[in-house]
Amino acid sequence: MGEHARPAGREVGSSPEAGGRAAEELDLRGEVCPYTFLKARLALESLPADRTLRVVVDNEASARDVPRSLMGAGHAVLEVVAATDGTWAILTRRRSE
């Protein structure tokens, strides 16, 4: 299973969000496009409107393509942050209904 000790794309949990509120988190380390976008979109669309989702990816193509694809689907991308461990955190908000 690799160094992360959990199946990629299987974890959705809470994490701190800017402003002190909790965001849902989806760990997609080990996954590649287009699966990263598809899993992020499904997780985001299962949340209530205006809820945030923090998606963690570990490849540059996903860090570039997931935000663009989520915006194309009508969701807001609040930030994309590169970490020193080779991951990117994509903070997105589900579109209002």
Q: Where in the sequence numbering do the catalytic residues fall?
A: 33
CB 62 within 8 A of CB 41: no
The contacts of residue 8 (CB under 8 Å, 6+ apart) are: 2, 27, 28, 29, 30, 31
CA dihedral 53, 8, 38, 13 (to 10 degrees): -20
CB 35 within 8 A of CB 60: no
